Amino acid sequence: MERQRRNTKKYNFRQPDLKELRNLISYVLDPLGFKARFGKLLSVLTTQVDEGLMSVLVQFYDPLYHCITFPDFQVLPTFEEYAYFVGIPILYQLSFSGLDRVPTSQEIANMLHIYESLVGAHMTTKGGIQGLPPEFLIAQATMYGKAMSEPLRPYLYFSSMSCYFSLHMRNAKGGGTIVCCLPLMYKWFISHLPQTVAFKENKGCLRWSTRLMSLTNDDIFWYNHVYDGVQMIDSCGEFSNVPLLGTCGGINYNPILARRQLGFPLKDKPNNILLEGVFFQEGKDPQGLKGRMVHAWRKIHRKGKEGVRSEELYHFGALHFLG
């Protein structure tokens, strides 16, 4: 049977100029020591993204279930997979709530060991949230050699949030610029592509749209043994899935659809309650989802091969990073 032709949307990706950061790699004299402290950050930084592949991939975004839906299967990024590719542990707490007290310029200056006047001069308000531009923070880290291990931990949360939220927003708008950590999303997706020589060589010079549409459930590289023993975040609080909160609003993703990616069997078809889609934009939250999401992250349900474990976890205030 001939497959139905898809209505495509025009997407592009915000690609920051990483040339200067990549040039700094040559100054890393102890790569193994750097990796031990900061994970696989250099690997992400040096990833060459096939933007053509990613432009095709996002065409398959499913706004109902917040995942990538192909004719024969579904895939979606998870915290656990992102944690592996970045090489840092998951921070089992909410990294951003929007409800925390904004640190004073003096408090921020003390943390960064710089003058308060410098912080005040760069403080910016975006989307109703006060914070510091990433360019300023990167410059301070580069100039003064600040330790990055703690700021990197929330990186997993923000990377996941921006991926889902921006893709959902652009899909609803019919296209536009997707803002996410593209190298990380790229590394995640290609890890599931067929590992055969024939697929990698693509001697027929087929376009990505044709290659992806022809994939079946049996072609996908579902599980890597690096996830043996991993416990996945299955749900949070009142939500049957995982809520994500950022400066622009909130969204959720459905880990039940990703269980096969982490070696968990999906014995039955999930019902619509488990696949409930949640989304709101900052300043447009009539259901009070922000507060509910913050509260939900205080009780995280983690699922292992042996079953589900609940944990009472409490988040702490975090410095707000504005993208």
Q: What is the pLDDT of residues 293-302, one digit of tens each?
A: 999 999 999 9
For residue 26, give the DSSP letter: G
Report the half-sphere exposure of 28 (CA within 13 A, side-chain side). Answer: 18
Mean pLDDT of 176-185: 92
Across the chain, mean pLDDT equals 81
Q: Which domain holds residue 250?
A: 10-312
Task: Examine residue 323 and state whether it is found in any structural domain, yes or no.
Answer: no
Task: Examine residue 244 and state whether it is found in any structural domain, yes or no.
Answer: yes
Number of structural domains the chain divides into:
1
pLDDT digits (tens, 9 = 90+) for 112-128: 778 888 888 988 887 66
Task: Examine residue 320 and state whether it is found in any structural domain, yes or no.
Answer: no
Interacting residues of 208 by C-beta distance below 8 A, sequence separation 6+: 50, 52, 53, 56
Could you count the other beta carbons within 10 Å of the beta carbon of residue 130?
13
Cα–Cα dist 109/117, whole Å: 9
Contact indicator for 228, 196 with CB cutoff of 8 Å: no
Distance of CA 168 to the CA centre of its chain: 13
Mean pLDDT of 222-227: 89
Task: Examine residue 321 and state whether it is found in any structural domain, yes or no.
Answer: no
Residue 204 pLDDT class (50, 70, 90 cuts): very high
16 pLDDT higher than 60: yes
Residue 19 pLDDT class (50, 70, 90 cuts): confident
Is 178 in a helix, a strand, or coil? strand
Task: Examine residue 46 and state whether it is found in any structural domain, yes or no.
Answer: yes
Task: Examine residue 4 and state whether it is found in any structural domain, yes or no.
Answer: no
234 pLDDT higher than 70: yes
CA–CA distances in Å: residue 112 to residues 43, 137, 187: 26, 9, 32
Residue 188 confidence (pLDDT): 95
Residue 307 pLDDT class (50, 70, 90 cuts): low
Per the model's pLDDT, the better-predicted residue between 92 and 20 turns out to be: 20
**Helix residue ranges, H only, the chain:** 19-23, 31-38, 41-45, 51-57, 79-86, 105-112, 116-122, 134-144, 149-173, 182-190, 197-201, 208-213, 289-296
Per the model's pLDDT, the better-predicted residue between 113 and 47 turns out to be: 47
Cα–Cα dist 179/185, whole Å: 11
Task: Examine residue 205 and state whether it is found in any structural domain, yes or no.
Answer: yes
* Out of 66-80, 128-142, 279-293, least confident range: 128-142
Task: Examine residue 102 and state whether it is found in any structural domain, yes or no.
Answer: yes
Interacting residues of 307 by C-beta distance below 8 A, sequence separation 6+: none
What percentage of the chain reaches a pLDDT higher than 70? 78
